[in-house]
A and B are shown apart, each in its own frame.
Chain A
Amino acid sequence: MGVELAKLPKMKRRRITRSAVDQALAGYLFVLPALASLVIFLLGPIIYSFYISFQHFNYLDPQAATWAGFDNYLHLFVDPVFLQALWNTSLYTLVVVPVQTAIALFLALIVERIRGKSFFRVAYYLPSVTSSVAVSVMFVFIFGQTGLLNNFLSIFGIQGPNWLNNPSTALLAVMMIGVWTTVGQFMIIYLSGLQSIPEDVYEAASIDGAGGVSMLRYITVPLLRRTTFLIVVMGMIGTFQLFDTVDVISNGQGGPIGSTMTVVLDIFNKAFRDMAMGYASAMSFFLFVVILILTLIQNFVLGRENQ
C-alpha cells in the first residue's frame, strides 16, 4: 500500500491521507475481532480473577461471595499444602532449568556438527510435540516397580526404587520427565542461536590459535547470551507451571504424601475440587508475582549487555 501511495500524484495522495482519524479507525476496525476476543477472553478474566482474589468466592454460589480483604493472600503463608507445593515447585525449577539448559546447549553443539542434522532435530523435538498426558502415562510404565528403568538397572545388579510411589524419589522422577520433554524444544532454539553467530569470529579466533574449548567458552557461550536468557525465562515459566505430569502420575492428589504437589496442581484442586475460586485466584496471582520477579532478576543478570 505504501508503494502505491508513493506513486500517486502529490495532490491525490494528500486527499486520501487527509483524514488520519479515518485511517486509524479503519485500522482499529481490522483488528477489532482480535482485540475484542483478547479483551473478553484474556484481559477480562484476568482482571475479574484479580477482583475475586480478595473475596471468599464459592464457584457454585457466586451471589454469596463475601469480601475477604487480604485474607486469601495472608492464608497462603500458613497453608502447609501450599507451602509444600511452593517448595516442591521451587526445587523442581532449581534443578530442571539449569539441567535442561545445559543439555539443550550440549545437544545443539553436537547436532550442529554431525551428519543427519535434520533427523536428530526431529528426533529430539518429538517429545515436545507429544501430548504431555501420553508422555506421563508412558513414564508411569518406565518408572514402575518392575518397569523399564528398574529392569535396566537390574542388569547392573542395582535394585531400583519404586520411583513414583516413594516420597523421596517421586519428585526426582518428575524432574527427569520434565527435562526429557523440554530439552528438544530448547535445543532447536539454541541451534538457531548458533547459526546467527558469524563464521568470521571463529575464523579470527582460530587464526589467533584458539582451541575448541576456549572458542566455546569465549565465543559461543557469550554470544548465545540472548538465547540463553530466552531459554532460561521460558524454562522457568514452564517449570513453575508444572501441572499435567503430576496430575497424571499422582491422580491429581500430588502424592505420595504430597511429594509431587505443585502450585498449579494445588490451584486446580482448590478451584475446581473445593470450589474455593477466590483463594485459588489469590494463589494464581501469587504465582504470577513470583514468576514476574524471577524474570526481572534474570533480565537484570543476563540481559544487561543491551545497554
Chain B
Amino acid sequence: MKKKNANKWFGIAASGALLAGLVQVAPSFAATHKAAPRKAAPVIHLTLGQWSSSPAEHQLVLNQAALFMKENPGIDVSVRVVTGNYLQVMQPMLASHTAPDVFYVDSSYAPQLEASGVIMPLNHFIAQDHVAVKDFYPNLVKAFTYRGTIYGLPKDFNTLALESNPALLAKAGIKTPPATWAQFAVDAAKLKAKGIVPISFPIDVARYYPFIRDMGGSYYNTSRGLATFPNKNNFAGLNWFMQMNEKGYFVNPTLQGASWGGQVFAEGRAAMTAEGAWIVPSQQSTAPKMKYNITNFPTLNGHDSNMVYTVAYEMAKATKYPAAAAKLLFFMTGPQALAMTAKSGIAMPARKSQEPLFLKDWPSYKAFVNGVKDAYPYQFGLLGQNFVNAINNATQAGILKHQSAQTVLGNAASTLSSQSNY
C-alpha cells in the first residue's frame, strides 16, 4: 500500500517537474564585442542590441558605433548580438530593466512593445536635438509611431519587387516581365501551358496584402486598431488572389517543397517570384550564375500598393543615460551612419537624402526603392501575430477547400476575436 502511494506521488511529482521543465527556454547571447579601443576614459557606458543576421551587418554596426565613439569621447558603446529568437530574449530583459539602452525593433511587433510602456518616447528628444524627421520616408516613421508619439526612428527598409528568370520567360515567348498583374495573368497562362510554374508566391498576408489594397480593401483600421476582415471591399482583392492560386498561376512555395519563393526561383523551378532585396545575397550564394531581372512590383487595378518591412532603433525606458542613449539612437539613424549603410548595400537606408548615394552604388535595387512610395508597413497594431495567423490559416484553408472570400474572411474574424485580449 505504501509503495503504491509512493509511486503515485512519484508520478505526480514527475509530471509536475516535467511540466516545470518546459519553462526552461534558453535565451542566449553571443559574446559582447567592444566596437573599438578608446582613448579617453569613458564616463558613460551604453549597450546597443542587435539580432544576429550576417557577419557583414554586425561589422557595419561595429563601424558605425566606432565612429560614434570617435565623435563622442565621453560615451563608450558595446554591441550586444542577441542570438536565437530576438523578441523572446528581449521581453524578459525589458520587463526586468536589463535590456540594452538602444536596440533593433522590427515593425511587426513594435506597437506591442510601445504600448506596454517599456520604450522611451522620443518626441521630446527629437525636438531637443532638432532631428529632421521629414528626411525619413513617412510611412516608415508611421510604423514606429504609436498613438501620435514617435518611439523609434527607422534605420532601413525592404519592399517587394518582381524577380524574373528571362530564360524561362523566353521559353513561353515572353520578352519582358509583366508590369501589371493583368499582363501577368496572360503570361502565366502561356508559362503554365509549357509546364513552367509562373510565380512562386506564398499564401501569406505579408505578401498578398497589396492586392487587397489595390482593389480598394483594407484588413485593418489603423486609427481604431481593429481588424476589418469581413468587409465587402475586401472580397475583390482576396477573390482575385484565391483565383490566381486555384488556376495554378500563383504557386505556394511549400507546394514545391520549399520554404520560400527565393529557393524555388534559384532552383529554376519557377519563372518569377516576388520577394524583397534579401533575395539578392541569397541568389549570389545559391545560384551565382543565374541571370535574373528585378522589376517593379506589378500594378493591379491601376494601383501600385506594396509592403514595407522596416527596422528601427528604439530606446529602453529604463536606460540610465537617456540623453546619451538618444544621442546614440539619432547617430545610428543619422545621415553619417546611414551613408555607411548605403555603401554597404546590406539594406536600403531609411532616409530619403541617402537614396541617390545608395542607387549610385546599387542600381539594381531601383525597383525596391520605387516600392516604398505606396507601401504599407507590415504591422497590424496590437493584434500582431494573432492577426497574421488568423488570416493566413483562413486563406490557406480557403484555397485548399475552394471556399468563397466571404467565408475565409468570416473565419479569420472569428478566430481572431477568440484570440484577442488573453
Contact = CB atoms under 8 A, between A and B. Distances in A.
Interface residues of A, number: 54
Interface stretch (B210-218, B302-310, B352-360, B414-422): B414-422
Nearest to B27: A272
Contacts of B25: 268, 272
A228 interface: no
A237 B117 contact: no
Given A61-B117, A145-B257, A42 B400 contact: no
Contact of A237 (B3, B15, B255, B414): B15
B95 A165 contact: no
Nearest to A238: B18
Contacts, number: 124
Interface string A34-53: 00000000100110010000
Interface string B80-122: 0000010110011011000000000000000011001110000
B422 to A, nearest CB: 4
Interface string A272-307: 111110010000100110011001100100010011
Given A284-B22, A307-B1, A257 B397 contact: yes
Nearest to A61: B116
User: Of residues B85, B386, B414, B422, which shows the largest number of chain A Cβ atoms within 10 Å of its Cβ?
Assistant: B422
B127 interface: no
B282 interface: no
B91 A275 contact: yes
Nearest to B397: A257
B173 to A, nearest CB: 29
Interface in A37-95: 42, 45-46, 49, 56, 58-62, 72, 75, 78-81
A253 B418 CA distance: 17
B415 A81 contact: yes
| Chain B facing A: main interface SS | helix
Interface in B38-80: none
Interface size bracket, B side: 35 or more
Contact of B17 (A42, A62, A162, A272): A42
Contacts of A274: 384-386, 419, 422
A270 interface: yes
A241 interface: yes
B254 A162 contact: yes
A147 B415 CA distance: 34
Nearest to A233: B11
User: Of residues A49, A80, A147, which shows the largest number of chain B Cβ atoms within 10 Å of its Cβ?
Assistant: A80
A177 to B, nearest CB: 17
A307 B256 CA distance: 58
A167 interface: yes
B404 interface: no
Contacts of B389: 253
A245 to B, nearest CB: 14
A73 to B, nearest CB: 11
A258 interface: yes
B201 to A, nearest CB: 15
A144 interface: yes
Given A58-B116, A60-B95, A144-B257, A287 B19 contact: yes
Contacts of A79: 418-419, 422
User: Of residues B3, B18, B85, which shows the largest number of chain A Cβ atoms within 10 Å of its Cβ?
Assistant: B18
A206 interface: no
A190 interface: no
User: Of residues A58, A147, A275, A276, which shows the largest number of chain B Cβ atoms within 10 Å of its Cβ?
Assistant: A275
A257 B385 contact: no
Contacts of A56: 421-422
B393 A255 contact: yes
A295 B22 contact: no
A10 B113 CA distance: 71
A273 B17 contact: no
A69 B254 CA distance: 43
B128 to A, nearest CB: 27
Given A162-B257, A233-B11, A257 B393 contact: yes
B116 A299 contact: no
A45 B8 contact: no
B20 interface: yes
Contacts of B132: none
Contacts of B12: 292, 295
A62 B95 CA distance: 8
A256 interface: yes
A288 B16 contact: yes
A264 interface: yes
Nearest to A270: B422
A162 B255 contact: yes
B19 A291 contact: yes
A78 B418 CA distance: 7
A284 B4 CA distance: 27
A303 B7 CA distance: 9
A296 B393 CA distance: 37
A146 interface: yes
Top 5 A-B residue pairs of the complex, sorted by shortest distance between their CB atoms: A145-B257, A60-B116, A165-B254, A279-B422, A61-B116
Interface of A: 42, 45-46, 49, 56, 58-62, 72, 75, 78-81, 144-147, 162, 165, 167, 233, 237, 241, 243, 253, 255-258, 264, 267-270, 272-276, 279, 284, 287-288, 291-292, 295-296, 299, 303, 306-307
17 contacts: A56-B422, A61-B95, A145-B257, A162-B257, A165-B255, A241-B22, A256-B396, A264-B22, A267-B22, A273-B384, A274-B386, A274-B419, A288-B16, A291-B19, A292-B12, A295-B12, A299-B8
Interface of B: 1, 3-4, 7-8, 11-12, 14-20, 22-23, 25, 85, 87-88, 91-92, 94-95, 112-113, 116-118, 254-257, 384-386, 389, 392-393, 396-397, 400, 414-415, 418-419, 421-422
Given A162-B257, A284-B22, A292-B12, 19 more contacts: A42-B20, A59-B95, A62-B95, A75-B422, A78-B418, A147-B257, A162-B254, A241-B18, A255-B392, A255-B396, A267-B22, A268-B25, A272-B85, A273-B88, A274-B422, A275-B112, A291-B15, A299-B8, A303-B7
